[in-house]
Homo-oligomer: A and B are copies of this chain.
Amino acid sequence: MFSKACEYGIRATIYIAMQSLQGNRVNLKEISKEIDSPVAFTAKILQQLAKNDIINSVKGPTGGFEINKKDIDSIKLIHIVSAIDSDKIFNGCGLGLKECNEDFPCPVHFQFKEIRDNLKKMSSETSIYELATGLEVGLTFLKR
């Protein structure tokens, strides 16, 4: 469904958010250990997330990544997916047709539109806050 980069990006953001809720800034090494992802590749993804103002990066000793507590609830899944994978999955065609036009629909249009719209709705409504708190209370997990 999502690219590897996007999966790592979502997992990383959730972990950073959970730590930020507890007042902790976390560094690359810790993040990739906790989300079980390749270190250097994760660095690239975190850079992308920082450029898209989804997370903050701080250089130097004691540096790392964090999210302002007040922003955590306004970051939605769709922001991360759009930043890393583009919004193709939310707006593109199920059969990959280039020019998408509902007046000249592809054969799967009527079936796919519903799935795609639900995915978009879910991604727009699901906040990193709710995903991070599930992790914080031990209801959900980022590894295995």
> Which A residues lie at the B interface, using CB under 8 A?
1-2, 4, 7, 10-11, 14, 77, 89, 92, 94-99, 101, 104-109, 111-112, 114-116, 118-119, 122, 126, 131-132, 134-135, 139-144
Number of copies: 2
Could you tell me if B140 and A107 are in contact, using CB atoms closer than 8 angstroms?
Answer: yes
CA gap between A77 and B14 in the complex, in Å: 34
Could you tell me if A107 and B14 are in contact, using CB atoms closer than 8 angstroms?
Answer: yes
Q: What are the residues of chain B within 8 A of A144 when measuring CB–CB?
A: 97-99, 101, 104
Additional 14 contacts, C-beta under 8 A, given A1-B1, A1-B94: A1-B89, A1-B116, A2-B96, A7-B94, A7-B96, A97-B141, A101-B144, A105-B139, A105-B141, A106-B140, A106-B142, A107-B140, A108-B131, A115-B118
- In the A-B complex, list the 5 residue pairs whose CB atoms are closest, starting with the nearest: A7-B96, A107-B131, A107-B140, A99-B144, A104-B141
Q: What are the residues of chain B within 8 A of A118 when measuring CB–CB?
A: 114-115, 118
CA gap between A141 and B100 in the complex, in Å: 11
CA gap between A114 and B122 in the complex, in Å: 10
CA gap between A134 and B96 in the complex, in Å: 18
Contacting residue for A111 out of B92, B106, B126, CB 8 A: B126
CA gap between A122 and B7 in the complex, in Å: 24
